[in-house]
Amino acid sequence: MKPETVQSILADRVERHRESLTARWEDVPHRVRDPISVPEYDFPTTPDDIFPWVSVCFVVADGRVLLVQDSGHSSVWEPPGGKGEVRRTSKRASDEHREQDESHESYSETARRETREETGIECEITGLLFTETLQFDYGESVLISVLQAGFVARRVGGEIRTTEDAIEEAAWLPISDLPDGTQFEAEIGSLAPSR
């Protein structure tokens, strides 16, 4: 596919997904992020050659927020999150024929899964905080857009444990006293308990 075609299809996907999310949850602030340079990766040749979306999860409890330190990112602290995944399940139709069924997990499923994988904490999504368009610059004449959704959640179980290699630490940090360089500091601050 031409880069312009891939760009157009993915831009339409971002809009459809945003409309679907806000219809499900509510209308929330949306922004378009500055382009993220990714020259080390090949430009996607089809819209399916890039992850479908990104979800982050703001788990809040007792005036604190669950954050991680990811060695692969520039932020000092950030909410757990990551790329949506395609689930592939095989269904045996007969001994000779297998039918492949593909479906994506939902945005909120991504947020819950990433939180569990990165921190060991189980959570329940309680709301949508924001959406944003991430723009990736592969060095081509066009940018590729992917929607990112930020969810608010409450803890329902688990204990902090980091098992993913890239996650150096996970911790509950006070919303009112976040370290400098915390990603989404303003959004986290909006979650502070009312006095």
Q: How do residues 3-60 score in pLDDT, each as one tens digit?
A: 999 999 999 999 999 999 999 999 999 999 999 999 999 999 999 999 999 999 999 9
Q: Note the pLDDT of residue 162.
A: 86
**Per-residue model confidence (pLDDT) at position 2:** 95
Domains assigned to the chain: 3-189 (3.90.79.10)
pTM over 0.85: yes
| Residue 166 pLDDT exceeds 90 | no
Q: pLDDT at residue 135 above 80?
A: yes
Residue 144, pLDDT score: 97
Integer Cα distance of 130 and 62 in angstroms: 22
How far apart, in Å, are the Cα atoms of 135 and each of 5, 46, 180?
Answer: 16, 16, 25
- Asked if residue 138 lies in contact with residue 40, where contact means CB atoms within 8 angstroms, the answer is no
For residues 106-110, average pLDDT: 96
Residue 140 pLDDT exceeds 80: yes
pLDDT at 187: 96
Tens-place pLDDT, residues 78-104: 999 999 987 655 444 433 333 333 467
| pLDDT average, residue stretch 57-75 | 91
Q: Count helices and strands (H / E) in the chain.
A: 3, 10
pLDDT at 99: 33
- Among 33, 118, 36, smallest CA distance to 81 is for 118
- % of the chain exceeding 70 in pLDDT: 91
